[in-house]
């Protein structure tokens, strides 16, 4: 059995229900975490707000409507460890509850990499079996919006960025998209309004409603102008512990795998390394 509670970091930033959307985004980006726990004014846990939900619902200003509300009952049986691993594999994080259904915190992939997979006992396992030879990339010259589209179509929360020679350049994530967002006021015209005929709509203005809302828009900056250039690559022969350590030190969700000539051969994601826990723990 895996004791995920022991891997939790106790001092992590949290959000409050009444948080302003841009303040929440700023806090999330500064934390480098893909999701944060949300509490009400009585310090009761109410849900989890993720970067993915913020981006997928760019028109929704009420953060309470975007909260993920995990069911404690699904974490309270003998299959709880598999549930946590499945959540982290799919999203990069998971809620942790105690045996009484009380929320303990959020565990992230970086917690497992740092406190478990980077340890000496995983030096004997090569990463070869965890490398993806088919994977999505995005060009360094692409604007943020294109990168966001690539993320959505891939189903991943981070992608490898390559230069014009298809050499590894950097890593691009949903947090990078959030960092490049601003709120823009948009007027939406619906039915309902003042009396008189609208020249534009050709109907009574009493049937037109003008709704102002704030939506999130992303900048047009090319990825190469703000993503940090990669300093590390890995070889097929490196161990799980070595790769996990590199990911933790660089705060990277993935690393490119290259041959001896630095040609790109594949990528390994931190979540891919979790397979070793599934194979050895259950």
Task: Give me the pLDDT at residue 189, please.
Answer: 55
Q: Give percent above pLDDT 70 in the chain.
A: 88
What confidence category does residue 227 fall into, taking pLDDT thresholds of 50, 70 and 90?
A: very high
**pLDDT mean over 36-43:** 94
Q: Where are the beta strands (DSSP E) in 141-206?
A: 158-162, 168-173, 181-192
What confidence category does residue 73 fall into, taking pLDDT thresholds of 50, 70 and 90?
A: confident
**pLDDT mean over 112-140:** 94
Quick one: CA dihedral 77, 79, 81, 82, positive or negative?
negative
**pLDDT mean over 171-190:** 86
In whole angstroms, how far apart are CA 83 and each of 3, 4, 258, 272? 13, 11, 33, 16
Task: Give me the pLDDT at residue 281, please.
Answer: 54
What is the Cα–Cα distance from 78 to 1, expressed in whole angstroms?
9
Task: Give me the pLDDT at residue 76, please.
Answer: 72
Q: What is the pLDDT of residues 255-273, one digit of tens each?
A: 999 998 889 999 999 999 9
Compute the chain's Rg from CA coordinates.
Answer: 22
Q: Is the model's pLDDT at 19 over the cut of 90?
A: no
Q: Is the model's pLDDT at 182 over the cut of 80?
A: yes
Sequence-distant (6+) residues with CB within 8 A of 149 are: none
Report CA dihedral (281, 254, 239, 112) to the nearest 10 degrees. Answer: -40
Task: Give me the pLDDT at residue 203, please.
Answer: 46
Q: Give percent above pLDDT 90 in the chain.
A: 71
Report whether 148 contacts 55 (CB < 8 A).
Answer: yes
SS3 142: coil
Q: What is the mean pLDDT of the chain?
A: 88
Lowest mean pLDDT among 43-47, 84-88, 190-194: 190-194
Task: Give me the pLDDT at residue 1, please.
Answer: 58
- Burial degree of 282 (CB within 10 A; 0-12, 13-18, 19+): exposed
Which residue(s) pair with 117 in the sheet?
A: none
**pLDDT mean over 54-62:** 93
């Amino acid at each position: 059995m895996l004791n995920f509670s022991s891997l939790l970091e106790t001092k992590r930033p949290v959000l409050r229900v009444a948080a302003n959307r841009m303040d929440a985004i700023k806090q999330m980006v500064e934390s480098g975490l893909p999701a944060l726990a949300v509490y009400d004014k009585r310090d009761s846990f109410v849900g989890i707000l993720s970067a993915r939900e913020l981006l997928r619902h760019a028109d929704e200003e009420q953060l309470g409507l975007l909260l993920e509300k995990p069911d404690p009952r699904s974490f309270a049986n003998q299959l709880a460890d598999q549930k946590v691993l499945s959540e982290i594999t799919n999203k990069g994080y998971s809620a942790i509850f105690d045996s009484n259904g009380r929320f303990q915190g959020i565990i992230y992939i970086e917690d497992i990499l740092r406190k478990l997979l980077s340890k000496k006992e995983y030096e004997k396992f090569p990463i070869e079996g965890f490398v993806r030879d088919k994977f999505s990339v995005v060009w360094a010259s692409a604007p943020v919006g294109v990168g966001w589209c690539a993320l959505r179509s891939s189903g991943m929360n981070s992608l490898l960025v390559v230069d014009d020679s298809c050499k590894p350049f950097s890593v691009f994530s949903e947090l990078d998209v959030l960092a490049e967002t601003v709120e823009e006021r948009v007027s939406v015209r619906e039915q309902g309004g003042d009396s008189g005929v609208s020249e534009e709509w050709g109907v009574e203005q009493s049937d037109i409603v003008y709704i102002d809302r704030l939506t999130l828009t992303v900048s047009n900056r090319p990825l190469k102008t703000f993503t940090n250039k990669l300093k590390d690559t890995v070889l097929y022969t490196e161990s799980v512990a070595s790769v996990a350590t590199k990911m933790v030190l660089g705060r990277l969700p993935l690393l490119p795998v290259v041959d001896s000539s630095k040609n790109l051969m594949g990528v390994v994601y931190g979540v891919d390394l979790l397979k070793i826990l599934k194979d050895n723990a259950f």
